[in-house]
């Protein structure tokens, strides 16, 4: 397969996973089947269903899968993986449970620690973000999970990121469910620079997407995240010309580490 073929496989998998999620989300009588994982984060029937859809779809590729729902793979095994998929079948499970629509499907292809390809699908908003090193980063609106568009249709409808957006001052995007004292302090430091600062709170990988598309300038993350939370968004942001680095603003995030917990990081636009 060429890289464009891998990209379309990931896009199809993300949309199909979105459909599996929405079947649970839109059923008013549905029991989400919420369980609590070891880290006290929630897991639902929709997480499991989306994982199964994605795992089956990616079997057509030669790369192994590291998913939030399959995190127990030992590092002794993963250390030999030069290329792998890193997937969060349902990013923003808390937002899913709250029924606020701010959840995503995240699929990334990582090569030697660097995310080379990323797909994020937002089922409730019918929005698709995708990127590869070869093609750049794009957004497609109006992608209903009940319908699988062809790759040529997707490319015809895609808008290159960043989009032409304009706003005054600095727009900061932060977590809706995980705001920390350090994040608040970072925002206050930005205010001291003299420009007006607008804060947007949103869930899941939508925060990285906001910077990649240009509707926000900076996303400081001074709270825990795992590699599957960021890998797809990282690929999209990098392809859109953004920086995804540790708090020194110099060291990029890397993936398939022994410890899958990310360091604190900042996503910033070229002018952010």
Which residues, in sequence order, are CB contacts of 80 under 8 Å at separation 6+? Answer: none
Phi, psi of 240 (to 5 degrees): -90, 5
DSSP string, 175-197: ESS---HHHHHHHHHHHTTTS-E
Residue 252 sits in a domain whose CATH number is 3.40.190.80
Q: Both 148 and 70 in a single domain?
A: yes
Q: Both 246 and 115 in a single domain?
A: no
Output the CA–CA distances (angstroms, integers) from residue 220 to 148, 201, 253, in the order listed. 34, 12, 13
- pLDDT value of residue 64: 96
Q: Both 15 and 131 in a single domain?
A: yes
Which residues, in sequence order, are CB contacts of 69 under 8 Å at separation 6+? Answer: 43, 47, 48, 51, 89
Cβ neighbours, 10 Å, residue 156: 10
Report the candidate in 11, 3, 6 with the shortest Cα–Cα distance to residue 153: 11
CA 226 to chain centre: 11
Cβ neighbours, 10 Å, residue 185: 12
Q: Both 69 and 194 in a single domain?
A: no
- pLDDT value of residue 167: 84
Q: Both 95 and 209 in a single domain?
A: no
Q: Both 78 and 156 in a single domain?
A: yes
- pLDDT value of residue 266: 96
Q: Both 213 and 249 in a single domain?
A: yes
- pLDDT value of residue 18: 98
| 52 within domain boundaries | yes
Q: Both 113 and 210 in a single domain?
A: no
Q: Into how many domains does the chain fold?
A: 2
> Which residues span the domain enclosing 221?
170-268
Which of 102, 137, 160 terminates a domain? The answer is 160
- pLDDT value of residue 30: 62
- pLDDT value of residue 121: 98
Which of 133, 160, 187 terminates a domain? The answer is 160
Angle between helices 227-239 and 206-213 (to 10 degrees): 10
CA 9 to chain centre: 17
Which run of H or of E encompasses 159? strand 159-160
Mean pLDDT per 10-residue section of the chain, whose length is 272 residues: 84 98 81 60 82 96 90 90 97 89 97 97 98 95 94 96 87 79 85 88 95 96 94 98 95 97 95 66
Cβ neighbours, 10 Å, residue 76: 8
- pLDDT value of residue 178: 62
Q: Both 120 and 211 in a single domain?
A: no
Report which DSSP code applies to 50.
H
Phi, psi of 138 (to 5 degrees): -145, 160
Residue 150 sits in a domain whose CATH number is 3.30.540.10
Spatial contact of 119 and 234, defined as CB atoms under 8 Å apart: no
Which run of H or of E encompasses 52? helix 45-58
What is the β-pairing status of strands 35-36 and 114-122?
unpaired
Q: Both 127 and 178 in a single domain?
A: no
| 123 within domain boundaries | yes
Q: Both 143 and 211 in a single domain?
A: no
Which residues, in sequence order, are CB contacts of 22 under 8 Å at separation 6+? Answer: 123, 124, 145
Which of 160, 195, 227 terminates a domain? The answer is 160
Q: Both 19 and 72 in a single domain?
A: yes
Which residues, in sequence order, are CB contacts of 45 under 8 Å at separation 6+? Answer: 24, 30, 31, 32, 33
- pLDDT value of residue 66: 96
């Amino acid at each position: 397969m060429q890289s464009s073929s891998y990209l379309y496989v990931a896009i199809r998998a993300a949309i199909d996973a979105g459909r599996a999620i929405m079947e649970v989300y839109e059923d008013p009588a549905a029991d989400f089947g919420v369980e609590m994982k070891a880290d006290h984060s929630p897991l639902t029937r929709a997480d499991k269903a989306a994982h199964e859809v994605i795992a089956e779809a990616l079997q057509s590729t030669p790369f192994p899968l590291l998913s939030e729902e399959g995190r127990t793979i030992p590092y002794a095994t993963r250390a030999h993986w030069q290329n792998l998929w890193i997937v969060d079948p349902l990013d923003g499970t808390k937002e899913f449970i709250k029924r606020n629509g701010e959840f995503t499907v995240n699929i990334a292809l990582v090569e030697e620690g660097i995310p080379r390809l990323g797909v994020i699908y937002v089922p409730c908003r019918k929005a698709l973000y995708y990127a590869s090193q070869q093609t750049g980063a794009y957004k497609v609106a109006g992608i209903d999970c009940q319908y699988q568009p062809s790759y040529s249709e997707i490319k015809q409808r895609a808008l290159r990121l960043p989009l032409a957006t304009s706003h005054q001052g600095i727009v900061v995007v932060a977590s809706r469910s995980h705001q920390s004292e350090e994040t608040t302090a970072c925002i206050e430091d930005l205010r001291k620079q003299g420009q007006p600062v607008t804060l947007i709170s949103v869930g899941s990988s939508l925060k990285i997407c906001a910077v990649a598309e240009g509707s926000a300038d900076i996303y400081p993350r001074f709270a825990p995240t795992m590699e599957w939370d960021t890998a797809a968004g990282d690929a999209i942001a990098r392809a859109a010309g953004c920086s995804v680095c540790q708090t020194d603003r110099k060291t990029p995030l890397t993936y398939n580490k022994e410890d899958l917990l990310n360091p604190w990081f900042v996503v910033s636009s070229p002018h952010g």
